[in-house]
A and B are shown apart, each in its own frame.
Chain A
Amino acid sequence: MTFFFIVTLNGLTLAALYFLAASGFSLIFGLMRIVNMAHGALLMLGGYVGYSVVDMTGSWSIGVIAGGLAAAAAGAIVQAGVLGWMQGDELRQTLASIAISIIMADLMLWYWGGITYQVELPEALSGGLRLPLLGVGYANIRLALIGFALVTGLALWIFIQKTRMGAIIRAGVDDQQMLRALGYPINRIFILVFALGGMLAGMAGVIAASALSIAPGTDLQFLLSSLVVVIVGGMGSVGGAALGALLVGLAEQYGLAYAPTYGVVFTFAIMVLVLAVRPQGLLGRAEQ
């Protein structure tokens, strides 16, 4: 029984990480219909920058912010410099974002090398906690992860649902053309949202590099998880990303614990099942 609880807790912390990673991906997809294949690379950039900054300053919080900002800037450049010029041609944008992710991953490999990094944790997060009832120790950072995900999800929800900028973004998701006809330069909004999505990815990268570690290939791992999370949960909704992350995170951990050589099959089975029943994802809206 203890084993089951530990596995469940592992699943929840993984789900928290997947949610942090997928929320930006989902946000960008929801507004712009861009499958941003460079999302994993943005996450990895955040993780590396976060590592270097923590290494330099010794402050974990500054590292998280720096990682977020670096990925936000990179995201804005990608949208303003490349993808924005191909507006409306989704396939081309997807292909271009693949090219960008290949280049980014290779340049990061060049600069940071093929070593595995782990971001040093602040004292408050570095210890472990003896869990009540179960009587086993559990890493603080993993518990904090769940907190980060909740705070990020809530902040994102308030931003989208309760602010004027959020209303403009929702309007853009509903009807881009009409939003332009009301005087909004959609291109600037796109750049802003790309920066926001990049920031979420970058911060997730630093947190992933703290709770787990970061190395070449991390980008791909989180790109896959983000894809599956939004396919399962529904494209372009914060709630969908949360639900998708929960299902995928738990499935992966149960799979790993109970059927090690077929773990990924669980994740995959969930995706196929959802696609068969609801092609738009569990909380997604049907395409017109």
Chain B
Amino acid sequence: MSTESLLQIKDLELCYGSSHVLHGVSLRVEQKPLGILGRNGMGKTSLCQAVIGMHPSSAGTIHFAGEDITTLPPEKRAQMGIAYVPQGRRVFRSLTVAEHLQIVAHKGSAWSIDRVYEIFPRLKERRHNLGDRLSGGEQQMLAIGRALLLNPRLIVLDEPTEGLAPAIVSEVIDLIKMISDEGIAVLLVEQNMHAALAAVQDVAIMVGGEVVETCTAEALERDAALQKRHLGLEPGQKD
């Protein structure tokens, strides 16, 4: 690799059984946060799962920090510094908030449980509550806090604003900016275009399992036709 990107995805293909959901996706993620936009069912979550290693890709390569991670299992990727904030939060329902953080925390890491509590005082208040006793916003904070404790170099967030109240959405946006300022690369998958544009600088648009457009957040914000073509609610998508 001559130009070293933190995450480099090349010609990625992915199938679920007989349905082909990613058709040769190529992407680079650098230090600048990148947003992936697209309507439902366009392959965004599949892309996340391929990056995390939860679903094997059928062709193509994924490089992380110069290393080929295409066939590595999720736990290896996590140890290398890829953290995942999944769609639907997926907090453990029978673990307390404190336990969530304890099982991920490592000694001597830049991120400690105290630091997470500092950012999310609400989590500290609710540290003895079980995962399924938290509100949606609290679960999202916990999912992000848990990811930070991995001391990651890249955080993959899949629809972090889904189902949250507007006030919490803007909190999450600020949080993503803060993560980015900490020097952690961000791959943000969103359906909520406005939230994504507020949080990231570059965007890629996915339609039908392909990246059809890459531009800056500003350019997309100005280009109503582009928004309407790929993200609007009107029909007109391929199959």
Contacts and interface: CB of A to CB of B under 8 A. Distances in A.
Q: Do chains A and B touch in the complex (CB under 8 A)?
A: yes
Given A164-B103, A167-B103, A182 B94 contact: no
A177 B103 contact: no
A185 interface: yes
B150 interface: yes
A184 B75 contact: yes
Given A177-B74, A183-B78, A171 B95 contact: yes
Main secondary structure of the interface of A (DSSP, over half): helix
Contacts of A184: 75, 103
Contacts of A186: 75
Interface residues of A, number: 18
Interface of B: 52-54, 73-75, 78-79, 83-84, 86, 90, 92-95, 99-100, 102-104, 131, 146, 150
Contacts of B73: 180, 185
16 contacts: A164-B102, A164-B103, A168-B103, A170-B94, A170-B95, A171-B100, A174-B92, A174-B95, A175-B90, A177-B54, A180-B74, A180-B78, A181-B83, A182-B103, A182-B104, A184-B75
A173 B94 CA distance: 9
A17 to B, nearest CB: 28
A189 to B, nearest CB: 10
A178 interface: yes
Contact of B93 (A174, A177, A180, A183): A174
Listed residue (B54, B74, B86, B146) with the most chain A CB atoms within 10 angstroms of its CB: B74
Contacts of A182: 78, 103-104, 146, 150
Q: 4 closest pairs, A vs B, by CB?
A: A183-B78, A180-B74, A174-B92, A167-B99
Contacts of A170: 92, 94-95, 99
A185 B103 contact: no
A177 B48 CA distance: 13
Nearest to B73: A180
A182 B52 CA distance: 10
Interface string A138-169: 00000000000000000000000000100110
A175 B93 CA distance: 9
Given A173-B94, A182-B146, 17 more contacts: A164-B102, A167-B102, A168-B103, A170-B92, A170-B99, A171-B94, A177-B54, A178-B90, A180-B54, A180-B74, A180-B75, A180-B78, A181-B86, A182-B150, A183-B75, A183-B79, A183-B104
A241 to B, nearest CB: 16
A170 B99 CA distance: 10
